[in-house]
Structure 1
Amino acid sequence: MDDDILIDCGTGVGDLEYGQLKRIDHIFITHAHLDHIAMIPLLIDSVGEARGVPVTVYGSAETIRILRSHIFNWLIWPDFSAIPDRHRPFLRFQVIKVGETVRLARGAVTVMPAHHTVPAVAYCLDSGDGQLVYSGDTAYCPELIAAINRTPHLRHLIVETAFPNEQQGLALASRHLCPAMLGAMLDEITVTPEVHISHLKPGVDDRIMDQLSSYRGPLRPRRLMHGQELTF
């Protein structure tokens, strides 16, 4: 895949240099929680004037509605879909649905289901040679498992595990995963990707990974590291 795509736009985007930010043409948002959208306003503000085409933000209808109503509303942040004018904006929104595929210059992104406290999706990135699935924030989701099993060339699965097992009640209430719940999910996956764990809560991240180390299924979860590059 190209370096003009972001999947979600949290604070980690602040690690990118200006030239890297300016190359971003497409931002695919899983859901509207702040840790997944926080840097969109600042990114557009930083590079919008220097680009010849708008940055396209993709998301479900509800996610786009939330961004328009609560972020780009002239109160929290300017509406960059109307700056400098609606015919030549710095930002454009595109609603996408589960099952839809967006074809890009090199590769494609397909929307998968997820289950969270707000409308949420996962994404499958397809380079033409291999595939990567990013779960975003999700609880146990049979529909996502089925979609993963229909991804025959899946090389990498990035999946969240936000809470340790002793906080399973909190994981259920907030529709996140804990190691036991992830284990149940992995038991049902019939393809054989490398599994990378994201969204580890600070302070309990080592505890979560220790608990995941006891999983005895064929897939071996490992921590997704800062700066790690995955090829597919």
Structure 2
Amino acid sequence: MRLVVFDVDGTLVDSQGLILAAMDSALAGAGLAPMPRAKVLSIVGLSLPVAVAQLLPGAPEGVQQLVTEGYKSAYTAARAAQAAPLYDGVADCLDRLAMRDDLLLAVATGKSRRGLDAVIAAHGWQGRFISLQTADGHPSKPHPSMLQAAMADAGVDAGDALMIGDTSFDMQMARNAGMAGFGVAWGYHPRAELMQAGAARIFDDYASLTLALEEWSA
């Protein structure tokens, strides 16, 4: 058996609109000015408290906590109004991979379990993944804990596992876990950062990624 682990935000779902709006709301609620789009998107993938601390390194802990809680509330409200859309080709990719009897699928995300459950419910992915690893029970990416847990759930070693993600944090996490990482170019970190972080390959669309995954698992 082989295991493919997917990141969520920026890899499976295009959530940047929700993320940017929620962060703007959270910063405003703490009396802070909005931040540039690129700066906010640069921390996507990290666990929320770690991401806020990186955005506001000089802010008192109380201010960071206020922004963190404000973001949670704003994102939850926005998500309830409209789910983040899938990137083109995601549904076909997951359907094709799920038909293989030699391949298992998992998720490793900086989202909370509640947030991941909402994404799974919105897109009808119940039962699609053998392992669901979130920020609730692990250190933030790029610590390898989420991938180690996913491999344990699947009963595979690092040589038979692969991480798919859009950020340098995903590629670093894969490297820290001893597995290969495939980067996707449609997410939140530029191609150069993915390469520098150790991506084995980088893909521009789901059609080419799907073919590569089928070849890798053959």
- Larger relative helix fraction: 2
- Larger relative strand fraction: 1
User: Which structure is higher in RCO with an 8 Å CA cutoff and minimum separation 6?
Assistant: 2
TM-score normalised by L of structure 2: 0.36
* Structure number with larger C-alpha Rg: 1
